[in-house]
Amino acid sequence: MATVLVVDDEPLVVDYVADILGQSGFKAVEARSGEEALARLADEPNICAVISDVAMPGAVDGFALARSVRHDWPHMGVILVSGVMEPADIYLPTGVRFVAKPVRAATLLRLVREVADPRARLPEPPLRACS
């Protein structure tokens, strides 16, 4: 099953994102800090993408986490989220996408599909109704 790591220190945000992912056929694993996220990445072989808040407690914020992921797992996609700032593209590592909070479910799922490890077997996207 395609797994997405959700990293945020706010439990309600993690629950919201995990619910969106679960309803779309993804498995969500959670981390409350950048340090915990790096440990999860080392232990979970099926993670195809990371969704992380930019501002988190500890030494590893979202930018540092994104740099580590792109270095150590270059095929894995990263989406950074923030409700406080919108960084210029020059601050984002290559291949990292940014989205401002509040995040629409459709936008988040589209970005996960765009950045996910191309080797991952992703769940089929829902069919759109014709109008």
pLDDT tens sequence across 17-51: 999 999 999 999 999 999 999 999 999 988 999 99
Just give the CATH number of 3-115: 3.40.50.2300
Q: What pLDDT band is residue 101 in, cutting at 50, 70 and 90? A: confident
Portion of the chain with pLDDT greater than 70, in percent: 91
Q: Are 117 and 20 in contact (CB under 8 A)?
A: no
Nearest of 49, 70, 22, 46 to residue 117 by alpha carbon: 49
Q: What pLDDT band is residue 73 in, cutting at 50, 70 and 90? A: very high
Q: Are strands 96-100 and 77-82 parallel, antiparallel or unpaired?
A: parallel
Q: Are strands 47-53 and 27-31 parallel, antiparallel or unpaired?
A: unpaired
pTM of this prediction? 0.90
Q: What are the residue ranges spanned by the domains of the chain?
A: 3-115
pLDDT, residue 20, reads 94
Q: What pLDDT band is residue 126 in, cutting at 50, 70 and 90? A: low
pLDDT, residue 130, reads 52
Residues in contact with 128: Cβ distance below 8 Å, sequence separation at least 6, in sequence order: none
Distance set, CA 99 to CA 36, 104, 108, 129 (Å): 22, 10, 8, 26
